């Protein structure tokens, strides 16, 4: 569950702290007081995009921090799969926002926004202010059903996705093959030319490096011989290092009998003399063998040009040239055996389609069985929400083509009055009705998953009176098994609160601030009176608020 929210420098909030409890947490306040900032700040901490206007004027940064308590073993297991490990059964998610960037953290470790959204999907479900409008789109209906049947569908849908990808790949290959048939002879001729071009080159791995080395050596042979000649003169010619060392050695040897230490030094110099003589012989041999050969240089240059041409044409390395040859030979065989190739492709496509059809049928059967249970539960939930004569079902049709989601096209149908035919939601349901339908669906989905915290942002749009009371009772029931955080304008819903927060707006000097306080029982009754009576709170309105609170308490005690 969500334990606390800390907000700093966000829109109208200079700094605020909220500690939530179990059950139904209600947020109320006048229009424009900053209630939407609370939902906005939670969304930011959960990895959503950051609107620039959310940063408070003249503030260097904004900060949002959420603390969750996680005790459910399945949730902990799923979090660990994302490399997120609760510390003392807590997850702390924060987002620091500046004018140029934002940084998200989980338990003090910097993570991506995508990671934050994945973690958030395990911990909290937010029903936005206009989310019920998504029920107008048929695609959303199938998503709801699949979420409801997730345990039964997950493995099957993974197989379905894999089969669909394979089917599409073969279909594309077949399409390309049919197009290729038109220019087959022309392509065959060109492939033969390129394969022959590579074959005749008889390339060897690493050959290009050896050629580069030989070319550089030959291209710089004159400079090499000049430097080698100079080195030889300095070490082996007249008055050279060899001659000087030889003279020095003879001098030392003439006096070694007088001092044994000079004998050791003479031995060292003798080794140097031997090494230098060996060096001179090898350098002389190198110079004898290193005469520039114009014909050899021409052959190396020509070979290097050919190798570089093929590398440039077929991928940048000898290995890529050889791979290109193999690919072109395979392509040539396909084109030579074109009819056989097409026949094999069709056979593969038929087999792939058969597998796709089978798994699509399996998925469809699971969906249709689950849909019967789902619509029954939704219909019962709608009766609880003052749809007294409602008829609710789900209609299935087949898509024209295979999709990654199978062959199902599903749509919720509803009739809200006796004798009226079932029609798509968008054609018969008002905004307030859609809101209640979504509430019923959310209630059912919440019962079937592990998410403990549900947030409803103004679920009460377009409802009042008896319907509002029934929505309030439904919210209370959800709050028995889940933590519910709800922004509302309706006193009937606010009266059911286990924890009632008031969000107010104050002007200090020329600055506007939003404040949040947890209301005591009498303060909650006063806020209910404001919601009932508006600006002027009379004794009668106050008494009505007290009665409403007492009624709510009695309803809660029955549950």
Neighbours of 263 (CB within 10 A): 14
pLDDT confidence of residue 247: 78
Q: How big is the CA angle at 10 (ends 9 and 16), to the nearest 5 degrees? A: 70
Give 225-272 pLDDT, tens digit per residue.
Answer: 667 667 767 777 667 787 778 778 787 777 777 777 877 788 888 888
- pLDDT bin (cut points 50, 70, 90) of residue 372 is very high
pLDDT confidence of residue 464: 74
Orientation of helix 241-253 relative to helix 221-236, angle to 10°:
20
Distance CA 340, CA 32 (A): 72
For residue 238, give the 3-state DSSP assignment: coil
Measure Cα distances from 255 to 201, 250, 261, 268 in Å: 68, 9, 11, 15
Give 100-141 pLDDT, tens digit per residue.
Answer: 888 999 998 999 988 999 998 888 888 766 666 778 888 889
- pLDDT bin (cut points 50, 70, 90) of residue 508 is confident
Percent with pLDDT over 90 in the chain = 31
- 40-55 burial: b if 16+ Cβ within 10 Å, else e: bbbbbbbbbebeeebb
Residues comprising the chain, all counted: 559
State yes or no: pLDDT of 38 exceeds 90.
no
The top-scoring range by mean pLDDT among 139-143, 248-252, 450-454, 457-461 is 139-143
List the one residue out of 290, 308, 300, 293 whose CA is nearest residue 216: 300
Give 387-433 pLDDT, tens digit per residue.
Answer: 888 899 999 999 999 999 999 999 999 998 888 899 988 787 777 77
Q: How big is the CA angle at 372 (ends 369 and 378), to the nearest 5 degrees? A: 140
Pairing of strands 2-10, 391-403: unpaired
Which residues, other chains included, contact 44 with Cβ-Cβ below 8 Å and sequence gap of 6+? Answer: 10, 50, 54, 64, 95, 97, 102
Which has the higher per-residue pLDDT, 210 or 525?
525
State yes or no: pLDDT of 512 exceeds 80.
no
Which has the higher per-residue pLDDT, 158 or 29?
158
Which residues, other chains included, contact 230 with Cβ-Cβ below 8 Å and sequence gap of 6+? Answer: none
pLDDT confidence of residue 228: 66
Six-digit token string for 54: 């959310």
pLDDT confidence of residue 226: 66
pLDDT confidence of residue 170: 94
pLDDT confidence of residue 5: 93
Percent with pLDDT over 70 in the chain = 92
Six-digit token string for 530: 């404001």
Distance CA 485, CA 59 (A): 28
State yes or no: pLDDT of 292 exceeds 60.
no
Residue 489 burial (C-beta neighbours within 10 Å; 0-12, 13-18, 19+):
middle
pLDDT confidence of residue 282: 79
pLDDT confidence of residue 295: 73
Give 317-367 pLDDT, tens digit per residue.
Answer: 889 889 989 999 988 887 787 778 888 899 999 999 999 999 999 999 999
User: Mean pLDDT in the chain?
Assistant: 85
pLDDT confidence of residue 212: 81
Span of 5-9, 153-157, 457-461 with lowest mean pLDDT: 457-461
For residue 534, give the 3-state DSSP assignment: coil
């Amino acid at each position: 569950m969500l334990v606390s929210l800390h907000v700093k420098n966000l829109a109208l909030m200079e700094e605020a702290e909220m500690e939530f409890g179990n059950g139904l947490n209600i947020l109320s306040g006048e229009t424009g007081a900053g209630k939407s900032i609370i939902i906005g700040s939670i969304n930011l901490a959960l990895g959503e995009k950051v609107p620039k206007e959310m940063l408070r004027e003249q503030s260097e940064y904004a900060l949002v921090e959420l603390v969750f308590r996680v005790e459910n073993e399945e949730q902990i297991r799923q979090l660990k799969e994302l490399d997120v490990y609760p510390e003392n059964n807590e997850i702390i998610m924060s987002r620091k926002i500046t004018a140029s960037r934002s940084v998200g953290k989980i338990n003090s470790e910097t993570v991506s926004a995508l990671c934050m959204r994945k973690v958030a999907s395990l911990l909290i479900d937010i029903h936005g202010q206009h989310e019920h409008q998504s029920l107008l789109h048929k695609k959303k209906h199938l998503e709801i059903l699949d979420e409801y049947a997730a345990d039964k569908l997950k493995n099957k849908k993974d197989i379905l996705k894999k089969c669909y990808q394979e089917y599409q790949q073969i279909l594309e290959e077949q399409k390309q093959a049919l197009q290729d048939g038109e220019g087959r002879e022309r392509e065959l001729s060109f492939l033969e030319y390129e394969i022959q071009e590579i074959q005749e080159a008889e390339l060897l791995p690493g050959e290009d490096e050896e050629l580069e080395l030989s070319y550089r050596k030959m291209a710089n042979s004159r400079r090499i011989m000049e430097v080698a000649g100079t080195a030889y003169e300095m070490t082996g010619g007249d008055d050279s290092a060899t001659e000087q060392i030889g003279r020095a050695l003879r001098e030392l040897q003439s006096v070694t009998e007088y001092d044994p230490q000079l004998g050791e030094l003479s031995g060292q110099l003798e080794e140097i003399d031997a090494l230098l003589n060996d060096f001179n012989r090898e350098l002389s041999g190198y110079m004898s063998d290193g005469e520039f050969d114009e014909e050899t240089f021409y052959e190396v240059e020509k070979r290097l040009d050919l190798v570089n041409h093929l590398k440039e044409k077929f991928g940048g390395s000898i290995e890529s040239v050889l791979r290109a040859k193999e690919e072109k030979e395979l392509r040539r065989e396909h084109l030579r055996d074109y009819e056989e190739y097409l026949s094999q492709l069709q056979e593969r496509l038929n087999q792939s389609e058969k597998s796709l059809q089978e798994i699509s049928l399996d998925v469809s059967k699971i969906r249709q069985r689950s849909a019967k249970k789902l619509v029954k539960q939704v219909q019962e939930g709608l009766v609880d929400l003052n749809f007294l004569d409602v008829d609710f079902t789900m209609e299935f049709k087949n898509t024209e083509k295979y999709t990654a989601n199978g062959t199902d096209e599903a749509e919720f149908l509803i009739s809200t009055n006796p004798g009226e035919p079932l029609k798509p939601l968008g054609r018969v349901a008002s905004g307030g009705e859609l809101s209640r339908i979504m509430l019923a669906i959310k209630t059912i989905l919440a019962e079937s998953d592990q998410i403990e915290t549900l947030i409803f942002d103004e679920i009460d749009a377009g409802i009042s009176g008896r319907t509002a009371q029934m929505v309030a009772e439904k919210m209370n029931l959800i709050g028995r098994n889940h933590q519910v955080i709800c922004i509302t304008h309706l006193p009937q819903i606010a009266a059911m609160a286990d924890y009632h927060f008031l969000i107010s707006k104050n002007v200090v000097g020329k600055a506007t601030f939003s404040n949040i306080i947890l209301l005591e029982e009498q303060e909650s009754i006063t806020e209910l009176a404001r919601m009932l009576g508006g600006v002027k709170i009379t004794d009668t309105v106050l008494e009505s608020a007290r009665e409403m609170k007492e009624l709510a308490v009695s309803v809660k005690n029955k549950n």
